[in-house]
Amino acid sequence: MKVQYFAASTLDGFIATEDDSLEWLFALGELDNSSYPTFIANVGALVMGSATYEWILNNAEQVAAETGSPWPYTQPTWVFSSRELPLIEGANIHFVQGDITPVYAEIQSIIEDKNIWIVGGGELAGQFYDANLLDELIIQIGSVTLGKGKALFPRSVFAPTLKLISVHHMGEGMVELHYSVDRKTEI
């Protein structure tokens, strides 16, 4: 089992605009021309922040047009939020808040050897990194810049370093970078 942060980013390191728009992303690449189909087949659970969940809620028609359903996932999903949010009908959603470590333990006990996907955002992925629970980053870099927005991974990472596993060219507009994270060992 791995904890994987799979996300798309602009060239200047933002996953969304300041108002959580992803419009920059849609013209750039096709998920089928990426590792996504193989990746999602190995995911046992999703973890996301409230902004990501609300983006899905607010764009339900667009999500349904692209995936056939306003909630495109079959896996159970844990949504970190300090606010009460509406539940998407038919989705296996668990609303949680606070420390990620007990939530991680709960997810791990349920999904066996499948992977955990941190869908978004960058701060949540950073919390998994801070807790020494993040194993991989799979980042699709688009050929656009925003100048400002929501940061891809708002952490300084010097040591342990990220190790590049692979690079995949995704047409003219994107490249996918796959990194492993050397977890800190306890002394």
Number of folded domains that form the chain:
1
Residues 164, 63: Cα–Cα separation, whole Å: 31
Query: Are the beta carbons of 3 and 141 closer than 8 angstroms?
Result: no
The answer to whether residue 27 sits within a structural domain is no
User: Could you read off the pLDDT of 109-121 as tens digits, one per residue?
Assistant: 999 899 999 998 9
The answer to pTM > 0.85 is yes
Average pLDDT over residues 161-170: 93
| Domain annotation covers residue 167 | no
Do you find a cis peptide bond into 121, omega within 30 degrees of 0?
yes
Q: Does 24 reside within a domain?
A: no
Give the CATH number for residue 108.
Answer: 3.40.430.10
Do the domain assignments include residue 163? no
Over the stretch 50-102, which tens digit does the pLDDT of each residue have?
999 999 999 989 888 888 898 999 999 999 999 999 999 889 999 999 999 99
23, part of any domain: no
Domain that holds residue 69: 40-134
Cβ atoms of residues 163 and 30 within 8 Å: no
Which carries the bigger pLDDT value, residue 160 or residue 10?
10
Residue 103 φ/ψ, nearest 5 degrees = -65, -45
Whether residue 80 is contained in a domain is answered as: yes
